[in-house]
Amino acid sequence: MQVFPFIVVAWVLAVGLYGIVTSRHLIHQIVCLIVVQSSTYVLLLGIGYRRGAVAPYFSDIPVHTPAVDPVVQALALTDVVVEAAVTALLLSFAIQAHKRFGTLDPHELVQLKG
Amino acid sequence: MNVVAVAAPPPVPLALMDVLQITLLVLVGAGATAVALIRSPVRQVIALSAYGLLLALLFLAFQAPDVTLSELCIGAVALPILLLLALAKVRRREE
Amino acid sequence: MTAAQRRWLFLAGAAGFAAFYLWGLTGLPGFGHYPGPYGDIINRIAVAQTNATGVVSAVNFEYRGFDTVAEEYILFVAAIGVSTVLRQLRGERERAARDEAVGRRVPPTSDAVRVLSLMLIGPTLVMGWFLASHAQTSPSGGFQGGVVLATSFILLYLAGEFLVFERVSPLDITDAVGAVGAGGFAAIGITAVGLGLAYLTNFLPLGSTPGAVSSSGTIALISFFVGLEVGAAFVLIVSELLEQTLLLRHRS
């Protein structure tokens, strides 16, 4: 349990990158990028986690209760939302590319450019 | 407000929490593999939605309810909608 | 480069990454043994300093407020980018629209989906509003609340009411709400400067009860503006994409 979450992080990152490298479809690539990015959330929250601690909300518990790190949670939280907006931007580029060149295969797109 | 120095016992026993986290981590790893390896974009989007749900549950087990909420809205709902709309557009032109 | 070459190059890189990563793991504190001082310090002082019982929101909208401004503007710029890229496409479409996808049948929305979506619109809207305005107390805030608010508009589309969706979220109003949200955040920061404080200093009264809706000063206000901006950005993005795909449904 000491390092297992971080191994999972590396696995998610690697498998997402593998998807991007072997992809033949731009939208498929974008989805793989989402997977790659999701590994960072697991990493951040994994670092901030403390065994036996509670979530950092002190509405109904005393302030001295041991709680997990709120800073990494704040980072992950905004990342998730920004990721969606960036995905939308990438998707609009993919639509535009499809409109211009009639294909979403990155290999064919490279040949068209060259 | 009740200011007691003694920490309340965690609502879920620690050993059970560990089991839950390990199970969810394995599921997230498997989910990521599935999403990255599925080649058909539409099926991949459905898998991504399920993967978002798994991530949200994992974040809940990591004591991060706010990130759970964020991931639930974005990963399981908003992203699939955006992706399906883009795919609908692209597929229509291919037909 | 061929696909096989790419794969081998990737596998070589991944092997190197795995080696370094495993090496690095030996120096990391184990999972569940949080080492850093920052989280503990903030957990100890945040409630007393800001009267917000949700420490994550306090971090987001107070301690790293300057960073969050930038994050919010990433969102803003991405939404602008989507509509810029797609609007150019929309102008071009007028010629191509006629010969595309002739005879395609769009299946009508089923009654079950319609009824369920219409029923969920109200609760979703209330939920989003609640989340955006209760950042200081519960695991919520503008980012999640904004997305839920946008979801309630998307449900309108799901109910098959695209014309209503267009009517309740015309682009001008959505743009204006987004601008108010994005500008409001920056304006709060500048107001603090005007009062002779540092940018984004919490200058409003903090209230007497930690966790009350009226407590936490600017945190609640900023969260609300972020909610407006995020909601507007997502409605804008979805309606731009919808207009791309749904022109056909209008015509057929």
- CB-count burial class (<10 Å; 0-12, 13-18, 19+) for A52: middle
- Is residue A35 within 8 A of residue A12, CB to CB? The reply is yes
Rounded to the nearest integer, the mean pLDDT of chain B is: 84
Query: How many angstroms away from the CA of A9 is the closest CA of chain C?
Result: 11
Do A68 and A55 meet the contact criterion of CB atoms below 8 Å apart?
Answer: yes
Residue in chain B closest to C149 (alpha carbons) equals B73
Pick from A4, A58, A99: CB nearest C53? A58
B24 found inside a domain: yes
All residues of chain A having their beta carbon less than 8 Å from the beta carbon of residue C43 are 56, 63, 67, 70
Least CA distance to C209: which residue of chain A?
A59
- pLDDT by residue (tens digit) across B50-94? 999 999 999 999 999 999 998 988 988 889 989 988 888 887 655
Cβ contact B85–C131 (<8 Å): no
DSSP letters for C132-201: HH-TTTSS--HHHHHHHHHHHHHHHHHTT-HHHHHHHS-HHHHHHHHHHHHHHHHHHHHHHHHTTS-TT-
Residues counted in chain B: 95
One-letter identity of residue A40? T
The pTM is what? 0.87
Q: Provide the shortest C-alpha distance from residue C44 to chain A (in Å).
A: 7
Min Cα–Cα distance to chain A from B11, Å: 9
Q: Do B69 and C144 touch (CB under 8 A)?
A: yes
3-state secondary structure C193-247: HHCCCCCCCCCCCCCCCCCCCCCCCHHHHHHHHHHHHHHHHHHHHHHHHHHHHHH
pLDDT digits (tens, 9 = 90+) for B6-36: 555 556 677 888 899 999 999 999 999 999 9
pLDDT of C238 higher than 80: yes
Three-state secondary structure call for residue C39: helix
d(CA A100, CA A110): 13
Q: Minimum mean pLDDT among A80-94, B77-91, C148-162, C172-186: which range?
A: C148-162
Domain total of chain B = 1
What is the tens place of the pLDDT at every residue in C114-124?
888 889 999 99
Nearest residue on chain A to B32, judged by CA atoms?
A12
Return the HEC string of chain A: CCCHHHHHHHHHHHHHHHHHHHCCCHHHHHHHHHHHHHHHHHHHHHHHCECCCECCECCCCCCCCCECCHHHHHHHHHHHHHHHHHHHHHHHHHHHHHHHHCCCCHHHHHHHHC
Domain that holds residue B60: 14-94
pLDDT digits (tens, 9 = 90+) for C18-28: 999 999 988 88
Position B79 in a domain: yes
Is A15–B48 a contact, with Cβ atoms under 8 angstroms apart?
no
Q: CB–CB of C46/A57 below 8 Å?
A: no
Q: Is B3 inside any structural domain?
A: no
Distance from the C189 Cα atom to the nearest Cα atom in chain B, whole angstroms: 24
Q: What CA dihedral angle connects A83, A89, A95 and A97, to 10 degrees?
A: -110
CB-CB neighbors (< 8 A) of A89 in chain C:
78, 81-82, 85
Ranking A11-20, B80-89, C7-16, C96-105 by mean pLDDT, the lowest is C96-105
Cβ-defined contact of B3 to A63 (cutoff 8 Å): yes
Nearest to C86 among A18, A86, A95 (CB): A95
Residue B35 domain-assigned?
Answer: yes
Sketch out chain A's domains with CATH numbers.
4-113 (1.10.287.3510)
Distance CA B64, CA A111 (A): 46
User: For position C107, what pLDDT does the model report?
Assistant: 65
What would the pLDDT profile of C200-233 be if each residue is shown by its tens digit?
888 888 877 777 777 788 888 899 999 999 999 9
Does C100 lie at the interface with B, CB-CB under 8 angstroms? yes
Contact A105, A23 (CB under 8 A): no
Stretch 40-79 of chain B: residues touching chain A, C-beta under 8 Å: 41, 44-45, 48, 51, 55, 58-59, 62-67, 70-71, 74-75, 78-79
> What would the mean pLDDT of B38-44 be, rounded to a whole number?
90
Q: Considering the domain boundaries, does residue B2 fall inside one?
A: no
Give the pLDDT confidence score for residue B4 in this predicted structure. 45
ipTM above 0.95, yes or no: no
Across chain C, mean pLDDT equals 82
Within chain B, how many helices (H) and strands (E) appear?
Answer: 4, 0
Interface check for C234 against chain B (CB to CB < 8 A): the answer is yes
Q: What is the pLDDT of residue C210?
A: 77
CA of C240 vs chain A CAs: smallest distance (Å): 9
Assigned domain for B73 exists: yes
**Average pLDDT for residues A24-41, to the nearest whole number?**
93
